[in-house]
Structure 1
């Protein structure tokens, strides 16, 4: 497991060297949040739990939140996360140790996000926990007003970042949180089981459709 995880960290380190312009091309400014522009240039490469191994389940979001025009100051959790992400990008000999620090802090950071309101019941339906799964974004950079990235950016992200990870991980199951994420992952992946859990605005409640899918997940797990 350690050899696999070290390889994955090396790949994520390679990924964070891919600049925002390589994903959004010359149109990058059109999709950059109005505020916190420096953070928008920092990639969130993803998280994997301490027990995650080849063939494990991946949970996908669409892209990191925080691009709203109303966000003029960092979320408190960003004060911890984004300096770590920047250090990881700049690291060389100690990249594995820095990434392990990110992974150690991320579960509590995740629990402070609205996303956790749908993430937690999804893990419960899978009878799983954060130690055993990986979490990535289909496009790992923030977008203006948190809008869905354009198709060309989706394609660039999968060609440059996501598909090499999928080739290394060989996941048996991908869970997408939200139909936007599900549509992107389904468009650019093949031969992997994909289940999409619909989200509501602000994840303020779990919809009937999402509850039905979660219940099916429980039944599959029991069977």
Structure 2
């Protein structure tokens, strides 16, 4: 059985969509995200948004984890074309071998 866990790498919002201050991002990583990732041993980590991906791509993730960027639309009112393609690929990976094209 596949298991899925959701977590917020950046458990806060920033003004005017600015990046988080370095010390805040570092603390969020060391106190929240890193211990959870270490405990979960994820096969795949999907970063929802560029800010989360930027932070994750600079960290040492488990070698077995595949980091995937899922871009967000402005105001989350739509799914960008790039992210629709990511969804299609992820869907294909989940299908049993006899159902894949």
Question: TM-score band (shorter)?
Answer: 0.7 to 0.9
Answering whether residue 83 of structure 2 is matched by residue 178 of structure 1, we say: no
Are the equivalent residues in 2 in contact too, given 1:155–1:188 (CA < 8 A)?
no
Alignment match, 1:156: 27
Answering whether residue 94 of structure 2 is matched by residue 221 of structure 1, we say: yes
User: After superposition, what is the alpha-carbon deviation per residue over 1:112-155, rounded to whole angstroms, capped at 9, x for unaligned?
Assistant: xxxxxxxxxxxxxxxxxxxx422211122333345331233212
Answering whether residue 41 of structure 2 is matched by residue 165 of structure 1, we say: no
The partner residue of 2:73 within 190, 200, 206 is 200
> TM-score if structure 1 supplies the norm length?
0.38
User: After superposition, what is the alpha-carbon deviation per residue over 1:67-86, rounded to whole angstroms, capped at 9, x for unaligned?
Assistant: xxxxxxxxxxxxxxxxxxxx
> TM-score if structure 2 supplies the norm length?
0.76
Distance 1:151 1:188 in 2: 13
Query: Whose RCO is larger (CA < 8 A, sep 6+)?
Result: 1
- For structure 2, which runs of at least 5 residues remain unmatched after alignment? none
| Structure with bigger gyration radius | 1
- For structure 1, which runs of at least 5 residues remain unmatched after alignment? 1-55, 57-131
Answering whether residue 8 of structure 2 is matched by residue 137 of structure 1, we say: yes
Are the equivalent residues in 1 in contact too, given 2:50–2:69 (CA < 8 A)?
yes
Distance 1:215 1:154 in 2: 31
Distance 1:187 1:156 in 2: 14
Distance 2:67 2:89 in 1: 14
Are the equivalent residues in 1 in contact too, given 2:44–2:66 (CA < 8 A)?
yes
**Paired residue total:** 94
